[in-house]
A and B are shown apart, each in its own frame.
Chain A
Amino acid sequence: MNEPVIKVSGLTKIYPGGVLAVDHISFEVHEGEIFALLGPNGAGKSTTIGMLTTSLRPTEGEAIIAGYSINREPSRVRSVIGVVPQEFSADEDLTGWENIMLIGYLYGLPKDTVKKRAAELLQTVGLYNVKDKKVETYSGGMRRRLEIAIGLINRPRVLFLDEPTLGLDVQTRAAIWEYILKLKKDYNMTIFLTTHYLEEADAYGDRVAIIDRGKILVIGKPDELKRNVTWDTLFIEVSGSYDSAKQALSILPQVKEVSFVNGQIVIKVADGPSAIPLVVSAINSTGQEVKRLSLNRPSLDEVYMYYTGKSMREESMSKEEAFALRRTLRRARS
């Protein structure tokens, strides 16, 4: 594989007052990847992204982004990354167009280039027809799309998305992801995102790092992570004798465990979808039919639970993050 586009080693942040927010984390992100940093609120996600985007200075450790050190060449790093902050950052008193043009100039890009890119990006995120309206009139989804377009004005090699769908409703979240994926394809970038939505990390992350209390617990492809800690579960109803079906199933090498619960055979397998045909033919071979079969695949929450002993969904929000969320929601007005 090529040289990683993000290489983090021993990155640590201790805030004044002694709060250890990020504790010696190390990982690599490769070109073209969507890398998701997943964790509950207060886990250290925003602090990590803050250090990688050079708005926070690490207490210790180093990160190299597209060949530049965040400690020694922060200005270089800034010019090759795009950042979509967690909170809306566009100037509400200006129009969408004025906002994106302004940030373009701050990257030192010539006027013609900025104009061309701004028009193109606003087209892509579907805001071109409202570009001359003040941002204060935009809905939450529109603002987020504007922020993403602004984050791409310098054609970054890495786009950092800090909770890109925080505070948005389900439909808007799906739409935002459509735009992100389209932009990623059009511009061939690497995406580093933080999220506390398990489903998003699972669905869109090529690789996921789970972070808790400032430490990275595990990194891997979502499917691998789940397979490593837990099994897929199949629930089967058959016509006829359960005993012979159970026997036929227990000799399959893929099957880890067979039990009988509430009139259903419950089996644990490593990879549910690929086990289904084998399971069906094993039952058929005993002369019985499968009446009903359902598959339950674990979510990343099970992975999180495996490593921390608690469910991420139940993790309470820190006061500060709750405040940030409220503010974002209030400003979203959608």
Chain B
Amino acid sequence: MSEGRLSPFHGLWALTNRELKKWYKEPVILLLSLVQPILWIGIFGKAMNFASMFKSASIEIPGLTVPKQIIDEIGSLVLKQTFGTTDYFSFLAVGMLSFIVLFTSMSSGMTIVWDRRLGFLGKLLTTPVPRGSIIVSKVIASIIKSLVQATIILLIGVLLGLRFSFGLFAPMAFVITYLSLFLLSFGFSSLFLMLALRSTRWETQMAIMNLLNMPLLFSSNSFYPISSMPWWLKPIALVNPLTYANAISRWALLGITPQVSVILSMLYLVAFAAIFTTLGITLSWRYLSL
């Protein structure tokens, strides 16, 4: 018979480990989840080559010859003004880091729906494991998955031609990038777990994911800067946490000056993570303690 006082976090690692085991034991699923961002980088990023638009020959207007050099100069200027860099591929590749984090964190909600459907959650609730540990273990596992997948995307980006132009001391640039992705994953995992808490149908959860996936992506600065958005989209982009994670990563890895200061962006992400984690844990405590 087991005795007495258990720490409020006991079982946390055992549960996290379970989630991770299920993940790395199925490399096919891991690889499949990487397909989308790789397609975006590999095809979209390579084909949407803004730089080539201006890399034409000189222009002959009657009475005036604009030399190629000037065209190139104007091109760089326009690109720099729009994207903050002349290298759209790198701009997009770094933007895809937050995309994979969003995607991976979203699917963490599915795991709780499956656990409920397959009776595992019910079994967990008959053990003395703290109710908070059930949710927190899923959040931690989701963060680890997200960061590993982001690293894979980053490496693939580098292989395909992503060029760093660090805004600060290189190791620090990575630390800051990962910190922003960590916070992003923290918030999104908690949010989607919270949405999935009471759901017994995985179809519902899938629908929620599909509904939010693209809008979240397209209302952020993942593909294009906020400055080029229509007026009505800008405020949405400024609430979207993806925007801040992208801004921080691009500042750190590509040296692109962000619209909102890095510190404020980071604080925004901290608040995002803190609010949804608190909500998630509070609600899970309530719903799972039935």
Chain B residues 268 to 290 lying within 8 A of chain A, measured CB to CB, are 290
A109–B2 contact, CB under 8 A? yes
Residues of A within 8 Å of B2, CB to CB, are 79-80, 107-109, 154-155
Known contacts being A91-B18, A93-B22, A98-B21, is A106 close to B122, with CB within 8 Å? Answer: no
Residues of B within 8 Å of A154, CB to CB, are 1-2
Tier of interface size on chain B: 20 to 34
B126–A90 contact, CB under 8 A? no
Q: Which of A93, A108, A109, A154 has the largest number of chain B CB atoms within 10 A?
A: A108
Known contacts being A108-B2, A154-B1, is A87 close to B119, with CB within 8 Å? Answer: yes
Residues of A within 8 Å of B21, CB to CB, are 93-94, 98
Q: Does B129 contact A (CB under 8 A)?
A: yes
Taking chain B's interface residues, is the majority helix, strand, or loop, or is none over half, making it mixed? loop
Mark contacts of B97-121 with chain A using CB atoms, 8 A cut-off: 1 yes-contact digit, 0 otherwise. 0000000000000000000001110
B120–A108 contact, CB under 8 A? no
Q: Specify which of B13, B25, B126, B290 is in contact with A93 (CB 8 Å cutoff).
A: B25
Chain A residues 168 to 217 lying within 8 A of chain B, measured CB to CB, are none
Q: Specify which of A55, A102, A107 is in contact with B128 (CB 8 Å cutoff).
A: A107
Q: Does A128 contact B (CB under 8 A)?
A: no
Minimum CB distance partner of B124 in chain A: A106
Q: Specify which of B14, B26, B120, B126 is in contact with A53 (CB 8 Å cutoff).
A: B126
In the complex, A98 Cα to B128 Cα: how many Å? 18
Taking chain A's interface residues, is the majority helix, strand, or loop, or is none over half, making it mixed? loop
In the complex, A24 Cα to B79 Cα: how many Å? 75
Residues of A within 8 Å of B15, CB to CB, are 102, 106
In the complex, A51 Cα to B42 Cα: how many Å? 55
A-B contacts, 20 listed (Cβ < 8 Å): A55-B125, A57-B290, A79-B1, A79-B3, A79-B128, A80-B2, A89-B118, A89-B120, A93-B22, A94-B18, A98-B21, A105-B11, A105-B14, A106-B15, A108-B10, A108-B11, A108-B128, A154-B1, A155-B1, A157-B1
Binding site for B on A (CB under 8 A): 53-57, 75-76, 78-81, 83, 85, 87-94, 98, 102-103, 105-109, 150, 154-157
Binding site for A on B (CB under 8 A): 1-3, 6-7, 10-11, 13-15, 18, 21-22, 25-26, 118-120, 122-129, 290
